[in-house]
Structure 1
Amino acid sequence: MSGHGFHVHGPHDHQVEHVATHGGDSFTSRLAVLTAILSTIGAIFGYLGGHSQNLALLYKNEAAIQKTSASNQWNYYQAKSNKQNLAELSMVLTKGDAQEKYRQDVVRYKSEKEEIKADADKLEALSKEADKKSEAEMHVHGRWAMATTLLQIAIALSAITLLTRKRWMLVGVFGATGLGLLVGVLGFLHI
C-alpha cells in the first residue's frame, strides 16, 4: 500500500468493502451484534466475580483479625486465672489481714475473668460471622466465574459459527449463552 495512488487489496479487503457498501448479510450482522453483547455481559460478570472475590478476602481477613483478638483475650483470661490461683494459694498460706487481701484479690480476679471471657466469646462470634460471609462470597464468586466462562464459550462458538457458516452451531451458541445468563442470575441472587 502506498500514498501515491497504488493500492494492493488483500482477500479480506474485498469482503470488508463489500459488507461496508452493500450491507452484508443479516446472519453475519446479527451474530456480530450478539457477540458484542455477550462480550459486554461477560465483562460485567467478570467484574462482579472479581468484586465478590475481593469481598471474600476482606471478610476472611476480618475473621483472622477477630480470631487473633479473641486469642489475645483468652491469653489475658489465662493470666488472670494464674493470678487467681496464686491468690487462692496465698490465701491458704496466710492469716489475718494478708489473708483478707488475697480473698479480695480472688473475688476481683473472678469478676475480671467474667468480663474477659465475655469479650473473647464476642470476638470469636465476630470471627465466625466473618468466616461465613467469606464463604458465601466465594460461592458467589464461583457462580460469576462459571457464568463468565460459559459466555466466553458462547463467544468462541459464535466466532466458529461465523467462520464455518454452519447455522446448526447456533444451538451451542444459544445454549452456552442461556446457561451463562442463568448462572449469572444465580450469582446475582446469591444462590
Structure 2
Amino acid sequence: MSGHGFHVHGPHDHEVEHAAHGTHGSDGFANKIAVTTAILATVGALFGYMAGDTQNNAALNKNEAAIKKTAASNQWNYYQAKSNKQNLAELAMTLPGVDVDKYKSEVERYKKEKNDIKVDAEKLEAESAEWSSKSDEQMHQHHRWAQAMTAEQIAISLAAITLLTRKKWLEYTSYGVAGIGVALGVLAWLHF
C-alpha cells in the first residue's frame, strides 16, 4: 500500500477486510461448534461437581465405618476382659477354703455383662458394615460421574478438532461421545 492512492492488497488483507465488515462472524459451522463446546463444558462441570461430591461422601461414610469398627473392637476387648475375670472367678471357686457362693455370683454377673457387651459389639459391627456399604455405593456412583465427565471432556476435545479440521464425521463423533457422557450421567443420577 502506498500513500499516493495506489492500494495493493497483502495476502491476509482480504480476510481482515471481511472480518471488519462482519462476514467472519457469520460462519454457522464455527458458531454451532462453539455453542456445543460451551454446553459440553457446562455439563462436564456439573458432572465433575457430582463426582467430587460423591467421592467426598464415600470418604465420610468410610470414616464412619472405621469409627464404628473401632468402637466394636473396643467392645470385644471389653468382652474379653470380662471373660478373663469370669475364668478367674471360676478358677477361684475350685480353690479350697474360699467362699464359693461369692465367686458363683461373680461368674453369673460376668456372664450377664458379657451378653450385654456382645449385643453392643455386634450392633456396632453391623453399623460399621452398613456405613462401609454406603461408602461402596457412593464410590460406584462417583465412578459413573467421573466417566460421564471424562466423556464430556473427550467430546469437547473432539469438537475443537472438528473446528480445526471442519470434518463432519468428527462433529458427529463429538455428539456421540457427548451422548454417551450424558447417558453415564443419567446412570449415575439413577444410582446404576
**Structure 2 residue runs without a partner (length 5+):** 1-11
Q: How far off is 1:106 after superposition?
A: 0.5
Letter in 1 for 2:29: F
Within the candidate set 68, 71, 93, 1:69 is matched to 71
How many residue pairs end up in the alignment? Answer: 180
Residue in 2 aligned with 1:4? none
Mapped pair 1:43 → 2:68: no
1:19-34 alignment to 2 at 5 Å? 23-34=25-36
**Secondary structure of 1:190 counterpart:** coil
- For 2:54 and 2:78, locate their aligned partners in 1 and report how far apart those are by CA, in whole Å: 36
In the superposition, the TM-score normalised over structure 2's length comes to 0.88
The alpha-carbon distance between structure 1 residues 86 and 19, as it changes in their structure 2 partners (threshold 3 A), is: farther
The whole-number CA distance in structure 1 between the counterparts of 2:86 and 2:96 is 15
**Given that residues 82 and 114 in structure 2 are in contact (C-alpha distance below 8 angstroms), is that contact kept between their aligned partners in structure 1?**
yes
Task: Give the partner amino acid of 2:52.
Answer: G
Secondary structure (helix, strand or coil) at the match of 2:94 reads helix
Task: Note the C-alpha offset of 1:26.
Answer: 1.6
Offset, 1:16: 9.5
Task: Find the aligned partners of 2:149 and 2:17 in 1 and give their Cα distance.
Answer: 32
Cα offset, 1:21, TM superposition: 6.1
Aligned to 2:118: 117
| Mapping for residues 24-173 of structure 1, pairs under 5 Å | 24-95=26-97, 98-173=99-174
Q: Secondary structure at the match of 1:93?
A: coil
Query: Aligned partners of 2:16, 2:96: CA distance in 1, in Å?
Result: 107
Is the radius of gyration larger for structure 1 or structure 2? 2
Distance 1:16 1:100 in 2: 109
SS state at 2:191 partner = coil
Runs of 4+ in 1 over 3 A off after TM superposition: 13-23
SS in 1 for 2:26: coil
Unaligned runs of 5+ in 1: 1-9
Q: Percent identity?
A: 57
- Whether the aligned pair in 1 keeps the contact of 2:68 and 2:125 (CA below 8 Å) is yes
Deviation readout 1:133-181 (Å, 9 max, x if unpaired): 1111110111011100100010000011011111221121111011000
Do the aligned partners of 1:80 and 1:109 also contact (CA within 8 Å) in 2?
yes
* Structure 2: distance between partners of 1:139 and 1:160: 32
Shift of 1:23: 3.6
CA apart distance, 1:131: 0.7
Work out whether residues 18 and 24 of structure 1, in 8 Å CA contact, stay in contact via their aligned partners in 2.
Answer: no
